[in-house]
């Protein structure tokens, strides 16, 4: 009995839990499958608002959706706002605005983007592939 218990402890300590690398890959694939976004972009002026969808890995109406999914899934927190108290250069980048709503890696997303200062421009540029034609 003691030998069986010792063998069990050794198996646990060496990581023989029954999970494989494929299990982890499938988990990442499931996270990608739970990415469903609606993207609306207002270029500014008289130009109409454009609306696209992105569903990873399946596609959507966003131009180059497969590449956008690949790029988006490489980013850690692409929809995070500029942290409070951050000093930003007062550079105006243009009248463009965008809203992203839906789920990213299974988590709810509701993010607004503009180009009102240096921090917001950098934030926009990080995910600019989601805003074609701007």
72-103 confidence digits (pLDDT tens): 999 989 999 999 999 999 999 999 999 999 99
Dump strand ranges (E) for 72-106.
94-104
Round to whole Å and give the CA distance between 109 and 35: 10
Cβ atoms 120, 131 nearer than 8 A: no
Pick the closest to residue 96 from 47, 38, 37 (CA basis). 47
- For the entire predicted model, the pTM comes to 0.73
pLDDT band per the 50, 70, 90 thresholds, residue 65: very high
Answer whether residue 36 shows pLDDT above 60.
Answer: yes
Residues sharing a CB contact under 8 Å with residue 37, sequence separation 6 or more, in sequence order: 53, 54, 55, 60, 100, 101, 102, 103, 104, 109, 130
**Domains observed in the chain:** 26-77+88-130 (3.30.350.10)
Residues sharing a CB contact under 8 Å with residue 104, sequence separation 6 or more, in sequence order: 35, 37, 72, 78, 79
Instruction: Read off the pLDDT of each residue in 100-127 and give the average, rounded to a whole number.
Output: 96
pLDDT at position 134 is 78
42-58 confidence digits (pLDDT tens): 998 888 999 999 999 88
Q: Is residue 54 within a helix (H) or strand (E), and if so which, with residue range?
A: strand 50-56
């Amino acid at each position: 009995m003691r030998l069986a218990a010792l063998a069990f402890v050794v198996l646990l300590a060496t990581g023989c839990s029954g999970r494989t690398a494929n299990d982890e890959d499938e988990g990442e694939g499931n996270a990608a499958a739970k990415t469903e976004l609606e993207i609306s972009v207002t270029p500014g002026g008289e130009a109409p608002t454009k609306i696209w969808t992105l569903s990873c890995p399946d596609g959507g109406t966003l131009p180059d959706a497969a590449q956008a999914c690949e790029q988006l899934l490489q980013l850690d927190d692409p929809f995070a706002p500029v942290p409070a108290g951050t000093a930003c250069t007062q550079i105006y980048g243009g009248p463009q605005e965008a809203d992203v709503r839906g789920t990213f890696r299974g988590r709810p997303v509701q993010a607004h983007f503009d180009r009102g200062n240096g921090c917001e421009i950098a934030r926009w540029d990080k995910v600019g592939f989601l805003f074609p034609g701007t």
